[in-house]
Structure 1
């Protein structure tokens, strides 16, 4: 999850526009329970005893096959490492690949959890602005010079929602090859596209072994699952495996086995298809209501993918003031400026549309409209 922070603690109930959360009301809990029960009835002593440091091998095999089919990722089972979340994947990569003082580029605005991890490793953080095609390596080079590692979210940039173009992906990979730079590809929100053809992951286009790839099941299924994956270049497998064997921080193997069954029995793919249809319906409701009711206060762009979008504030309204007013009206939004390391030319609000149903979305738009009207 994208490091959500709530004043006074997280609300007990999901409110309109909460970002980075799936439709938990639509998750097939009974089916998950059946899969888990079957697994527990035939659990082996080998599974109870523990397993490979990189995670439950059948799950790693299933992940490798799924990513090859859905994302064009090219990897063997040996390159797959099971972790609790992308945050842990970032921590592991930073610990093994960065030295104090190493320059790291991050997207601006971007996911703050990445910058936190890299700073903790002693790296120097350099924000590179994101445009309509994603992070521009030529701009980064002109602005900051070389980089040891670049962190990007090309499938659905967080928080702007931009999909990195194929042209920019190829340029980034070529720049990384020439400059001997590593790329950490966070495959955030890649599962849900509503228009346009999906673009292959950077990892699948990479020919130089420059890309470390990570993704999570926590937002696709449910946050409490705490299962994600890290795909490392073949030349780094031994290094990551050695570190993992010492810490043995991987999630419980029984949970990994349940997820593996859920995938191999076809439930995961069917769930993705159902959720894609549901989220497209909720997105349509949100866009229709927001563009009619929030006109002149919030500009909402077209949305191609993901579970949230940015709404650009108008009429001189500040993001902090808008978020404070929204909270008083029982609406949950986060200022875009919260995800920037430097001052932005234009502020906005991050608006999730997946977590609540159509009725709550309509109600949320009305509540947000009242909040923004009070900020004028």
Structure 2
């Protein structure tokens, strides 16, 4: 065990060694059972006499903090009595960070209707381990390409071209650490101080908060049954963030008429549209509409995708497809941010896609999620206190609560309130129920418990657990 000791001058050297080792034991940097360096080795490193180190060790043994074992060495014998903390300091963050409250993540529970959580049991973990192990055995050295592993970029361009009609080659794709990093890179490249960014209301809170931290003035724009209300877009907005395939959190798709109007508005205003194709892979009904990216003829759409829902959130794999005019800046932003992602993981995903395993997994998961979606939608439709919002895709569905109805927090039941996705008053009143984290067999009892906790009264809290 290497121990850092800093000596000040040449006086009381044994006492200095003693105090610093004692502090390391007390605050837990040296843990019970760990072996200290031999006195000869530590003395050589500190350029002091061995007797000086031995004196400090003997004092710690006498005080009960160390134990000497003949022929084995000197070991820590005490448990830490205080935690190590950094100085409180006087440095303050920028004002936007002072009151920053990121969305609360509900903890796993028995009846788990959390949003945005796929069922890990459906993921072919053994196959994934095999692919990752194969890449780790390969001769991997040096830094990777900031734009991402080229075979993965090629695989993604083919995949989204076939499954979503996205017009992109490998050179148009940039690999990111999930959709959130994609939004961060886009914001770094495009957002000027005090620029206006329009977002959906209700909408995805992490995107709204991220744009604020980058210096933007974020304006919520109402969403109706056809998607974002283009006529309500602020004229000064130069970036519009939308989830057209499966609006988050309501679940309704943006109509073709509204898509066309949004693209025309962006061209007139010389604005950028960020299209987040949130969990659109899981479709249970009607044929999906063309993405904004494939309808765009002026090069004003940046397409963002993620594998957090189709695979696993822990993999942190996403991508963006941007017009060629932005590619150099986005590549530089990725390099300055964290240089590149994990190359073995990216290489494993490339094989996962090329061998048809991703398509197979999506088909299997879609069948399971469709059954859960139908079960919940049918149950909610039979309760006059709830008005389900029609949806045919994704990992969650939304239901509006009748006036005066609320849900009491209940141990063992995790449900999210629609209010948590609203950025401005008055907040909308409803529930957002995910069905990726809850097994099919637990849904009926979970819904029964939910209905039993609904009553007239104050509006529901933002965290219903």
**TM-score when scaled to structure 2?**
0.73
Compare relative contact order (CA 8 Å, sep 6+) and give the higher one, 1 or 2. 1
Give the aligned partner of residue 120 of structure 2.
Answer: 24
Q: Which of 256, 265, 288 is the equivalent residue of 2:378?
A: 288
Residue-by-residue CA offset, 1:215-253 (whole Å, 9 max, x unaligned):
100111111110000111111111112222333343211
Question: Considering only CA atoms, is the larger Rg found in Structure 1 or Structure 2?
Answer: 2
Among candidates 205, 208, 212, match of residue 119 of structure 1: 212
Residue of structure 1 aligned with 2:454, choices 358, 372, 375: 372
Matching of residues 23-42 of structure 1 within 5 Å: 23-41=119-137
Q: Report how many residues are paired.
A: 357
Q: Hey, what's the Cα distance between the residues in 2 that align with 1:99 and 1:20?
A: 30
Matched, 1:185 2:275: yes
Q: Secondary structure at the match of 1:235?
A: coil
Alignment correspondent of 2:160: 67
Q: Give the number of the structure whose residues are more often helix, by fraction.
A: 1
Counterpart CA distance in 2 for 1:279 and 1:99 is 41
Partner of 2:394 in structure 1?
Answer: 306
* Cα distance, 1:134–1:91 mapped onto 2, change above 3 Å: same
Per the TM alignment, residue 301 of structure 1 is displaced from its structure 2 partner at its CA by 3.4
| Equivalent residues of 1:334, 1:349 under 8 A apart | yes
CA distance in 2, matches of 1:238, 1:19: 35
The answer (yes or no) to whether the contact 2:147–2:173 under 8 Å persists in 1 is yes
1:358: how far off?
1.9
Secondary structure in structure 1 of the residue aligned to 2:223: strand
1:210 to 290, 300, 306: 300
Runs of 4+ in 1 over 6 A off after TM superposition: none
Give 1:358's match in structure 2, choosing from 440, 443, 461: 440
Residues 179-213 of structure 1, C-alpha deviation per residue, up to 9 Å, x if partnerless? 10001111101101111111111111111110111
CA pair 215-14 structure 1, distance change in 2 beyond 3 A? farther
Shift of 1:334: 1.4
SS of the equivalent of 1:94 reads: helix
User: What is aligned with 2:326?
Assistant: 236
Counterpart-to-counterpart distance in 2, 1:157 and 1:242? 31
RMSD: 1.8
Deviations 1:329-368 (A, max 9, x none): 4211111111112224740011112322221111110110
Partner of 1:44: 139
1:189-268 matched pairs, under 5 angstroms: 189-268=279-358
Deviation at 1:136, TM superposition (A): 2.0
SS at match of 2:413: coil
Q: Paired residue for 1:104, among 197, 208, 211? A: 197
Give the structure-1-normalised TM-score.
0.90
Alignment deviations for residues 2-50 of structure 1 (CA, whole Å, 9 cap, x no partner): x7514xxx42446331111111122111221222233333x123xx323
Q: Please point out which of 413, 419, 441 is paired with 1:337.
A: 419
Give structure 1 stretches of 5+ with no counterpart.
none
Please give the alpha-carbon distance, in whole angstroms, between the structure 2 residues aligned to 1:145 and 1:247.
32
User: Relative to structure 2, which stretch is displaced further, 14-23 or 198-207?
Assistant: 14-23
Quick one: distance in 2 between partners of 1:205 and 1:302? Answer: 25
Structure 2, gaps ≥5 residues long: 1-101, 459-465
Match of 2:104 in 1: 5
Q: Partners of 1:262 and 1:204 in 2: how far apart?
A: 25
Map of 1:150-169 to 2, 5 A cutoff?
150-169=240-259
- Pick closer, same or farther for the CA change 1:109–1:251 going to 2, 3 Å: same
